[in-house]
Copies of this chain bind each other. A is one copy, B any other.
Amino acid sequence: MDRKLYSLCGEDRKRHYSPHVWKVIMALEHKNLKYNLVPVSFGDITAIEDGRFTSVPVLRDGETVLGESYDIARYLDETYTDTPNLFDGKGAIALTRFVESYCKTVLHPSLATIAVMDMHNLMSPDDQAYFRAARERRFGMPLEAMAEGADGERAALPEKLAPVRDLLGTQDWLSGTTPAYADYTLFGTLQWCNVCTSNPLLERDDIVGSWFERCLDLFGGIGRDPTRSS
């Protein structure tokens, strides 16, 4: 099979923790497409395929190689029209981007703080050195100082999730009556922390926590054991 999804992993080569890779894992499962999940480290990324990528996901699908989770999802829907749609109509293609923008601007900064030390601790020594240097340059402080904000970010998270909580009060999935790429966009974002940290982000009896558990159950529970698909 010449369909490969390159995925950032911990030192154990089993803990797939990239939020954007998770979006694509769920998209491939939704489309009923088989794939090999190829674990990579930070150091491996520039050697993937033709060497033009600086981040994952990267998908090789036969002769096609592409990055960026949203672009990959669009490509999958356009290429494989006989399996379920990731976007139900043109409006959904546009509006799923709003879910992406919400995740990027509202949730990512919080989650980056909450998960920072757990991410660091699951990496290989080489990846730890790369990650520490890159994050400390970007945030202008040691990782350990960044991590001091984690409890505050956890406490603020329920309010940041208020739009999702409100929506899930009226429908089962972000995408309506069945899950689709908008759900996988938010799921991937939260799954990042779920994979890295042992302290759950969400209460199971919260409406968002219950939706997240239902996402984990999709596709034979791939969210609970990504290595099963490889």
Contact = CB atoms under 8 A, between A and B. Distances in A.
Contact of A95 (B98, B101, B105): B98
List the number of copies, as a whole number.
2
Interface residues of A, number: 33
B166 A104 contact: yes
A106 B162 contact: yes
Nearest to A107: B163
A171 B175 CA distance: 20
A95 B174 contact: yes
A221 B93 CA distance: 28
A112 B182 CA distance: 29
Binding site secondary structure of chain A: helix
A171 B94 contact: yes
Given A91-B87, A176-B91, A98 B167 contact: yes
Contacts of A170: 97
A191 interface: no
Contacts of A99: 95, 98
Interface in A197-222: none
B90 A163 contact: no
Contacts of A90: 88-89, 92, 176
Interface string A154-189: 000000001111110011011111001010000000
B98 A98 contact: yes
A98 B176 contact: no
A101 B163 contact: yes
Contacts of A182: 91, 94-95, 98
Interface in A74-100: 87-99
6 contacts: A88-B91, A90-B92, A95-B99, A102-B102, A104-B163, A105-B163
Interface of A: 87-99, 101-102, 104-106, 162-167, 170-171, 173-177, 180, 182
